[in-house]
Amino acid sequence: MKRVGSTARPDERPAFPLYYEAFRERLAAGDEEARDVFTLSTAWLDETTSGYFRSWTDLAFLRQNWDGPIVLKGIQSVQDAHAAMDAHVDGILVSNHGTSPACGGVNPQPL
């Protein structure tokens, strides 16, 4: 958060579900809180879709700071599925989409 010029707000929970149209209206009206949420959300998306691998510790942080549902994609083994359940995710996706020996992916089909 410090990287994007904000401070931690441990007691704050984002509204769920997010009503996009109302949020866009708040942004257009210059709502500073909406701008801050937008900046932090964009930074989070940049971080989580950067191509870097995430850890179970990262997932625990997300679970502690997000009250909404979490569906985890990328389960590769039974052990991953159990770890996801232990992390209290709401769902998992098991898929071999995009996995091939050429890109280093492991086919989870034996699950």
Torsional sign, CA 50, 1, 70, 89: positive
Phi, psi of 99 (to 5 degrees): -100, 125
Residue 33's φ and ψ, nearest 5 degrees, are: -65, -40
| Residues designated catalytic | 97
